Structure 1
Amino acid sequence: METSNRDAFFQTDASNAERERKALKASNKNGDPIVMKSKILAAVPDPFSPSTAIFIAESAGFARRIDLISGATKATYRGPKAPVTCVAVGGSGNKTVFAGSWDKDIWSWDVETGQPGRKFSGHSDFLKAVLCTRIAGKEILISGGADKKILVWDIETGKRLHTLQDPTTTMLAVQHIAIDPVLSTPDAALIVSASSDPHIRRWKITVDGVEQLAEAFHDSPDVERLTIAEHDTSVYKLVYDLEGDEGDLWTASADGTAKCLVRSRNFVAEDTFEHGDYVRAVIPTENWVITAGRDENVKVWDKSSGKLYCTLEGHYEEVTDLILLRDSRGLPEKVCSVSIDGTIRTWPLKKTDLDEVVKKIEESSKPVEEEDKSQGDNLLTAEEEAELAELMDD
């Protein structure tokens, strides 16, 4: 008889220990977790409720709109039969949800009703990134995939306008795309793309054409570089700093670092934050730099000194994305983290509130440590272990 029960198969002591560690950690309430039923692979802010709601992409094939106050699902967007890897909100009036999937298509729905809309087909491998913008009065969708291509679409007609590929360097799977808020104009969008190689590429997109931009070396203005290469390996996230006047570019990489690429120095790295493992997401604010990734932790750094201020422990699987939540004045108020563990957690950014959260995390971990010392390996009964293992199964 076939079974999917992991206990029926041979497992190493290390894998069993790791499973038990995650099972024990899963019960923590740090960050006031909202629990979903599948892995969360990406998230974006809700443009209609930027302080209290987000859209998420799930491995179960759904996109959802989540109320962070109540924890309720405001809408579920169904259709894909494969994991949804990325999500965006755009179109006329921000009334459409777009989601890229492992099935190589981009799906769309009405934000309020969840009614399916047009499907965009053109990639030859699974999607990794989608975003929306407006160029020369047209609503535009931009997508990037594991097929090493960036495609530009007219949302209204569904027509593919352009295909972007680096003709002179080896561009690998596209990981992320961001729009330059400083150099973009009503008639042209300047975007940056990150991929599974260390190179960051810059593109200028108009309705009529595309152009890959070269960047001058800071120390040698007469010498151009086709790509920005400040990391050692894959770059997962690109975020422009909207709190400063310069609009510097922040990056998160598999080399274990997040970096600030300074615009005034032609995007040379000036600040480096050593997170310690794959960094999946980074967010800069006026006072903080927040990083998260494979080590399960959300780290908050002092932006001016570059020193680690605190570590927010709560997730028990890789953190896949960070979302900045803004108050009614548009100021950063909280940060939201999502993870493969299927939870959404929210953390404050005010220093006194952060201190209180860290204190509670430290206090909540003490009983577990004491129990570890007194009881050795017998932390749970066999029935409790089985129940926790079942809860951890996807």
Structure 2
Amino acid sequence: MALAAIQALYDDDDDKTDEIRVKKHEEDTEDRMAVLNDPAFSVMSKIKLNLTPAIAIQPIDTSSFLDIKTREVLYNPKYEDMYAPIYGPTNPNLTQQQRTFKNVLNGYAESTTLSDFQFENQRRTFDSFGYAVDPTVGEHATPQLVGDQIRAEINEGMTIFETAKKPAGEKRKKDKNYDSGDVEGFQGPWAPYADEITTSRPSEEEQKEIDEYLSKRRKAKRPTRDEQNAIRARDPESTTLDKEAEDPSSTTLHIKDPYDYQGRSFLHIPQDVGVNLRSEDPPQRCFIPKQCIHTYKGHTKAIQKIHYFPVSAHLFLTCSMDCKVKLWEFYNERRCVRTYAGHSQAVRDVSFNFGGTEFLSASYDKSVKLWDTETGQVKSKFSVRKIPYCVSFNPSESKQHLFICGMSDKKILCFDIRSGHVVQEYDRHLGAINTVTFVDRNRRIVSTSDDKSIRVWEWNIPVDFKYIAEPTMHSMPAVAQSKNGRYLAFQSMDNQIRIMEPMANFRWKSKKVFKGHMVSGYACGLDFSPDMSYVISGDADGHLVIWDWKTTRVFEKIKAHDNVCIDAKWHWHEKSRVLTAGWDNVVKLWD
């Protein structure tokens, strides 16, 4: 009985223990499932399986060959591609600068966005002032100047196209009235300035000068035809009506020996200078002049033109702003032979006749005078209504009584010296006449004008048979003809020299364009060398510029004058002698 009770007790304890174990196992199972199902504490969410097999990755060369001649790239090349060697490995003996690609001699030049105006502005500023803006991009935060820093400080860094700064001040006030209801007092944009003087009267001194001028004019006034008839009726033998106004012209001989031992004047062609001055053949080969061997001084103002004596060129004329014309010796002592004074204003142009015994001078005083070269006497005076800009005798020996004159009123006038009247008028240009040149054995005339055109005329026919004008053409204030007559050189205002062939239907030679000088705004003269090897021209900066005829390249630039070099002429019989005239009042001989 007792054993049965103990056995029952143990059985009860075993059942309870099994129930506790089952219950605990169920609780543990529930806790584990809760952890697995909770995303915040789930271990599965933090485990990522990579089922791909492990492969050894080797670096791949992604660089591609970039041809330097390619003009268009359709992808973004890498730095290594752009600076990789063209073929093969890099040369270890080259520096980094030598390994870089070059398209010019001193490096690689890249195109940039720069307007033509800005480029020309800086180039002309550097040519004239010696400084310009540093073209380097990105190195300086503010623009830097390179070149002559002292001149830049004086000019405050201004370019050639900039004007001086206007002084700061108050603007002029206007009496404005924009009230449209005020019919009589409404002024709108036409209002005058508050301090504007609408009626101007001369001061006492000005009125006195005006009265003196009018009184002199009344005294010098010629009598009318009725008054002349009345005077002749009273005194038929009177000669007062036949008297003309006295010419104030004068001349000065500067040499003591105007005649040699045979009685020949200074116009006689010398034969003791080592060169045959009567020869028609040019020198076989010409050379570039290197130095100034003589300076002709005598003028007091700027010189305008140089003109050689016909055939021999042993003498030459110069006309100047000091209203005088001077005759100089080219050889021997190189003296000033004679001075011709008679114009009241600056002399613009001079021209010898066929034999050199007479010459014409055109002046801003609206007159053309015919001078005797030897004696200095004024043979004739031709009064014109406008300013004569150029004058030239007809080169034909049989027409030495005729000369043409380009006027400021768009006309070309042909005068007869014997009668003093205009015998022909060429009136087709739309601007002032700059030059007149005889071509084609003196049968035709080529004229240039401020209307930016060139017209070709038959002699004595007032209608031009050829009109040359292009939208890109500029005014051409100076023309030179080659010694053989085959070419005409035109000095263009766009800093170019263009060549025309008169014998080939007046066509331009497109390959013969000479650049490298600055003459914009100046009528700088130009010339050919006698052997047609070089072309020379003056420059606005005072340079004598020499080009090669075949290659059109600048051979040399010589600083000839302190101011504008307005004319340059090569001697017809010399290999390397050139005359230059400048606005510094001197003429220089170069050899």
1:258-273 matches, cutoff 5 A: 258-263=497-502, 264=504, 266-270=506-510, 271-273=512-514
1:172-321 matches, cutoff 5 A: 172-180=431-439, 182-184=440-442, 189-206=443-460, 209-214=461-466, 226-229=467-470, 232-243=473-484, 247-263=486-502, 264=504, 266-270=506-510, 271-278=512-519, 280-285=524-529, 286-321=532-567
Deviation at 1:68, TM superposition (A): 3.0
For 1:60 and 1:175, the matched residues in 2 are separated by 21
For 2:300 and 2:465, the matched residues in 1 are separated by 42
1:46, 1:55 within 8 Å by CA — same for their partners in 2?
yes
For 2:427 and 2:476, the matched residues in 1 are separated by 17
1:230, 1:268 within 8 Å by CA — same for their partners in 2?
no
**Is 1:334 aligned to 2:577, yes or no?**
yes
**Is 1:345 aligned to 2:591, yes or no?**
no
Aligned pair in 2 of structure 1 residues 127, 293: CA closer, same or farther (>3 Å)? farther
The one-letter amino acid of 1:60's match is D
* TM-score (norm. length: structure 2): 0.47
**Is 1:86 aligned to 2:349, yes or no?**
yes
Identity %: 19
For 1:199 and 1:56, the matched residues in 2 are separated by 28
Number of the residue aligned with 1:75: 338
CA deviations over 1:207-231 (Å, ceiling 9, x no partner): xx433122xxxxxxxxxxx225496
For 1:173 and 1:34, the matched residues in 2 are separated by 32
1:326, 1:334 within 8 Å by CA — same for their partners in 2?
no
For 1:73 and 1:269, the matched residues in 2 are separated by 40
CA deviations over 1:69-128 (Å, ceiling 9, x no partner): 43421111111110001001116x431121000011101211000011101122x32221
Deviation at 1:242, TM superposition (A): 2.3
For 1:227 and 1:161, the matched residues in 2 are separated by 26
Which has the larger strand fraction? 1
CA deviations over 1:132-183 (Å, ceiling 9, x no partner): 01569332111112222111011222221111111xxx52111111110x25
The partner residue of 1:148 within 381, 398, 410 is 410
Task: Report SS of the residue matched to 1:142.
Answer: strand
Deviation at 1:32, TM superposition (A): 2.6
CA deviations over 1:300-347 (Å, ceiling 9, x no partner): 1111111111111120111222222122xxx65522111111111122
For 1:83 and 1:136, the matched residues in 2 are separated by 30
Aligned pair in 2 of structure 1 residues 231, 94: CA closer, same or farther (>3 Å)? farther
* TM-score (norm. length: structure 1): 0.69
Task: Report SS of the residue matched to 1:326.
Answer: coil
For 2:480 and 2:347, the matched residues in 1 are separated by 21
The one-letter amino acid of 2:589's match is T
**Is 1:130 aligned to 2:369, yes or no?**
no
For 1:230 and 1:321, the matched residues in 2 are separated by 28
Deviation at 1:194, TM superposition (A): 1.3
Task: Report SS of the residue matched to 1:32.
Answer: strand
Task: Report SS of the residue matched to 2:452.
Answer: coil
C-alpha RMSD of the superposition: 2.5
Number of the residue aligned with 1:217: none
Using CA pairs under 8 Å that are at least 6 residues apart, name the structure with larger relative contact order, 1 or 2: 1
Deviation at 1:43, TM superposition (A): 1.5
Number of the residue aligned with 1:388: none
Task: Report SS of the residue matched to 1:137.
Answer: helix
For 1:191 and 1:230, the matched residues in 2 are separated by 23
Is there any run of 5+ residues in structure 1 with no aligned partner, and where?
Answer: 1-11, 16-28, 215-225, 349-394
For 2:448 and 2:304, the matched residues in 1 are separated by 17
2:569, 2:579 within 8 Å by CA — same for their partners in 1?
yes
For 1:321 and 1:155, the matched residues in 2 are separated by 28
1:198, 1:231 within 8 Å by CA — same for their partners in 2?
no
For 1:118 and 1:293, the matched residues in 2 are separated by 35
